[in-house]
């Protein structure tokens, strides 16, 4: 029996240069990243509706001690979001190599990490 192969979902800051290995570049932020020109970003799709709410982002404020609460609250928001948006990103991640593009400085504790876990659970 062949092992189940999960899709590759990469993570990359919006301020890093794109590469051929990125596949489809999916911006997963509600706001366009500062100092990034749209023509230079190489974004294929912008999933702003799947980003954390403004209230949740303000509450989290990238405080490491709030990370567990942020993960839980953001997952709850994703469960409540319009399912067609979730289905669209799951479909792209199932059928293509993708990279979630995010703006946060903390590469280990940001919304793209939570969204990747969420999408992989859906697949």
pLDDT tens digits along 29-87: 999 999 999 998 999 999 999 999 999 999 999 999 999 999 999 999 999 998 899 99
Most distant CA atoms of the chain, gap in Å: 49
pTM score, whole prediction: 0.91
Q: What pLDDT, in 10s, does the model give residues 18-45?
A: 999 999 999 999 999 999 999 989 999 9
How are strands ordered across the β-sheet holding 9-13? 9-13, 98-102, 24-27, 45-46
Task: Supply the pLDDT for residue 123.
Answer: 87
Write down the residue that tokens 């919006």 correspond to: 14
Residues 35, 69: Cα–Cα separation, whole Å: 29
């Amino acid at each position: 029996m062949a092992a189940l192969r999960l899709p590759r979902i990469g993570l990359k800051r919006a301020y890093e240069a794109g590469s051929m290995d990125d596949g489809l570049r999916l911006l997963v932020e509600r706001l366009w990243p500062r100092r990034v020109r749209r023509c230079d970003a190489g974004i294929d799709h912008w999933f702003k509706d799947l980003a954390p709410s403004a209230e949740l982002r303000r509450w989290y404020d990238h405080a490491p001690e709030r990370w567990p609460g942020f993960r839980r609250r953001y997952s709850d928001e994703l469960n409540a979001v319009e399912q067609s948006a979730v289905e669209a990103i799951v479909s792209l991640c199932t059928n293509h190599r993708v990279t979630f593009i995010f703006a946060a400085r903390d590469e280990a504790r940001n919304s793209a990490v939570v969204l990747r876990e969420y999408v992989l659970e859906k697949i």
